[in-house]
Amino acid sequence: MGTTSALPKFWRDHSEVLIYTPIRIVAILIVALILRSLLRRAIDRAVRPVGGRVPRILRPLRERLEGASSSLASERRTQRAATLGSVLKSASSTIVFVIAFLLVLSELRIDLAPFIAGTSIVGVALGFGAQSIVKDYLAGMFMLLEDQYGVGDVIDFEKATGTVEAVGLRSTRLRDVNGTVWYVRNGEVVRVGNKSQGFAQVVLDVPIDAWADVDRASAAMADVAREMAEEEDWASVFLAEPEVQGVESMTRDETVIRLVAKVRPLEQWRTARELRRRIRDRLEHLNIDAHVPPAAVEVGQGQPPPDAAAPAPPG
């Protein structure tokens, strides 16, 4: 009887600890889970493209997709949005759970001052120990926000050059012309050259013999480039009329004439190869010597070069 009557008094005396505090803690955790779920759902909606349009998360950000195909642009946007979405999800989950954890500690009447001080010390230690990782992630964040490069771009990392296959917060994966896959940490990139943005330039330095007619060779090169730019298969590649800029250099053996053409990104190498082939055929057709030194011609005709010693008279 005494034990039975003592139970209500016990619950009344400890109701704050045994009833109200657990209820508040459970409520804090439930609210945190619901808030986290809502935030993740909102981020998923912002990341997901609707009807082939640009994802909402990328609309306020700058894009550099000049000259990229629709499929490549879609893949690049998808990966960029997914990476930014994963960062926002991690950040929102961390913030929500940290706040919930602090509220739970407050409900348990635990002094937060030593905990915050200890957390600061641990944070400083981790900051010194993992500063390279933090540097990589920060560099990756700014790279994604500024859209410095993306999937499908041909970039030069100074020590590695190739086509970007994947872009992450910590590293970038690219493949060079030999098929080698390179992984470059974003924090280690001091400078990067993007060969896929805006436009590209074909710069051809064509050597001809020093005694050849420069005006005739220049006109032939200009005609070849203009005819190629007017063809149906190449008209969409050229962004401006090709220009012969003139003599770039000359020596006693050769004269170098420069041709420049403005083309679409990633088309400069294919265009340059075709221009070289056509220019060579045209110069050969016009009998314009493509750099054959006079000394070599004389030797080939059975005559000694000018500085050869005279033969000794017969004994």
How confident is the model at residue 18, as a pLDDT? 66
Looking at per-residue confidence, does 67 or 95 come out higher?
95
Higher-pLDDT residue of 120 and 155 is: 155
What is the rounded average pLDDT of the residues 118-132?
67
pLDDT at 312: 46
The reply to whether 102 and 170 lie within a common domain is: no
Q: Which domain holds residue 234?
A: 200-298
Is residue 212 very low, low, confident or very high in pLDDT (cuts 50, 70, 90)?
Answer: confident
Asked if residue 71 is part of any domain, the answer here is yes
Kindly state the percentage of the chain with pLDDT values over 70. 71
Give strand pairing partners of 172: 167, 184
In angstroms, the Cα distances linking 11 to 26, 69, 79, 107 are: 19, 71, 57, 19
- Specify if 239 maps to a domain: yes
pLDDT at 92: 87
Least confident range of 50-59, 88-97, 265-274: 50-59
Asked if 204 and 181 sit in the same domain, the reply is no
The pLDDT assigned to 19 comes to 72
Quick one: pLDDT at residue 140? 83
Verify that 177 and 217 share a domain, yes or no. no
Instruction: Name the domain boundary from 83, 110, 137.
Output: 110
Residue 197, pLDDT score: 77
Answer yes or no: do 157 and 231 share one domain: no
Residues 16 and 52 occupy one common structural domain: yes
CA distance 289 to 217: 9
* Last-in-domain residue among 110, 141, 170: 110
What CATH number should be reported for the domain holding residue 171?
A: 2.30.30.60
Domains: count for the chain: 3
**294 and 204 within one domain:** yes
Strand positions, DSSP E, 64-199: 154-156, 161-167, 171-175, 181-185, 193-194
DSSP conformational letter for 38: H
| In a shared domain, residues 100 and 172 | no
Q: Evaluate whether residue 128 is within a structural domain.
A: no
Q: pLDDT category, 227, cuts 50, 70, 90?
A: very high
The answer to whether position 3 is within a domain reads no
Between 205 and 129, the more confident residue is 205
Q: Which H or E element spans position 300?
A: helix 294-300
Residue 132 lies in a domain: no
- Average pLDDT rounded to a whole number, residues 10-25: 70
> Is residue 207 located within the same domain as residue 159?
no
Residue 271 above 50 pLDDT?
yes
Q: Is there a domain that residue 133 lies in?
A: no
Q: What pLDDT is attached to residue 310?
A: 41
Within a domain: 136:
no
Same domain, 33 and 98: yes
Antiparallel, parallel or unpaired: β 243-250 and 161-167: unpaired
d(CA 49, CA 77): 9
Quick one: pLDDT at residue 46?
81
pLDDT at 11 over 70: no
Provide the CATH number for the domain around residue 255: 3.30.70.100
Please check whether residues 177 and 245 belong to one and the same domain.
Answer: no
pLDDT at 6: 54
> What does the buried/exposed string (b/e) look like for 14-50 if buried means 16 or more CB atoms within 10 Å of the residue's CB?
eeeeeeebeeebeebeeebeebbeebbeebeebbeee
Of residues 133 and 1, the one with the higher pLDDT is 133
How many residues make up the chain in this entry?
Answer: 315
Residue 122 in any domain: the answer is no
Condensed to tens digits (0 to 9), the pLDDT of residues 67-86 reads 555 555 666 677 777 777 87
Q: Rounded to whole angstroms, what are the CA distances from 113 to 51, 117, 123?
A: 51, 6, 15
Same domain for 278 and 213?
yes
